[in-house]
Amino acid sequence: MDLAANAARFAGYSELYDRVRPSPPAAIATMLCAYADRQIPDLVVDLGSGSGLSSRWCATWATRVIGVEPGDDMRNLAVSSTPDPNVSFVRGWAHETGLPDSCADVIVAVQALHWMEPTGTFKEVARLLRPGGVFGAVDCDWPPAVGSASAEAAWERCRVTIRAYEARLASGVTGPALLVPIAADDIFPSVHFGRDAHRDAELASGVRSWAKDEHLGRMRASGEFRWSREVTAHSIEDGDRTRFVDLLRSQGDFQTLVKHGLDEDTLGVTTLWSEVRDALAPESHPFLFSWRARIGVT
């Protein structure tokens, strides 16, 4: 399967992504190490390592980290922004990393497994893990809880608009027709499902994704893991209204539509900013991120 379009979806905004996206909580790292029976894993492989944000998180609890990333834009930023000599990055795919057999204690895919072909990925994970090693697919719900119903509802309305435009683009509409405002008879989902945004979504530009809520079932059905389960945790990071809106700008569907000529007014981001500016105070305050880790033990 050609997944080049999936990697291309993340080109051109790596610095924004790296600046605003959250890191998983320490509790998930603790649980991965416990299942792997390693207080400090010798090697963690980070599949779909992107800008290096997740690899830098892994480096806080592992001796050595290798990030595997097919996209040049993201990988180049990862190399330049990660001075730790125990963290390295290679060009590769989740189903074809080029790394040696039984090399890893833990493998993670942070906000990434839904972009990876599952069968080949799970086979590669099983090949790379030593016996008793652990795989963790770690995902974040959107948006973060910021203590403002108005701000979060505004995010939801903007995300529904963006999803409707991507559905239009995916149906083959381009050029001036793509820019026409969304009408009642357009494909227009009434709800944006932030826990699993790609479930039943129509994605443009040849992109393919797999529903997050089905990760655990696919892991169990693969036969590559002797035990699989889901755990949840949360993290709290400082944020402000600018970060809240920039988190939306860091989503791949928004960036895809911008590349096809749509602007922030059309996509509802200007309205979102106006509503968030009124709903959130300018100073920094806690953002609560909810995380789900689907864990597989070999």
By residue range, what is the domain housing residue 112?
4-142+207-239+286-297
Q: Same domain, yes or no, for 166 and 106?
A: no
Q: Same domain, yes or no, for 212 and 263?
A: no
Number of domains in the chain: 2
How far, in Å, CA of 59 to CA of 87, rounded?
7
Q: Same domain, yes or no, for 215 and 99?
A: yes
The reported pTM is 0.96
- Please, are residues 218 and 204 in contact by the beta-carbon 8 Å criterion? no
- Please, are residues 135 and 129 in contact by the beta-carbon 8 Å criterion? yes
Rounded mean pLDDT, 92-109: 98
Residues 6 or more apart whose CB falls under 8 angstroms from that of 34 comprise: none
Q: Same domain, yes or no, for 90 and 232?
A: yes
Q: Same domain, yes or no, for 215 and 90?
A: yes
- Above pLDDT 90, what percent of the chain? 91
Q: Same domain, yes or no, for 131 and 230?
A: yes
Q: Same domain, yes or no, for 155 and 222?
A: no
- pLDDT digit string (tens) for 250-292? 999 999 999 999 999 999 999 999 999 999 999 999 999 999 9
CATH (domain of 36): 3.40.50.150
Q: Same domain, yes or no, for 192 and 115?
A: no
Q: Same domain, yes or no, for 92 and 174?
A: no
Query: DSSP letter at 218?
Result: H
How far, in Å, CA of 65 to CA of 55, rounded?
7
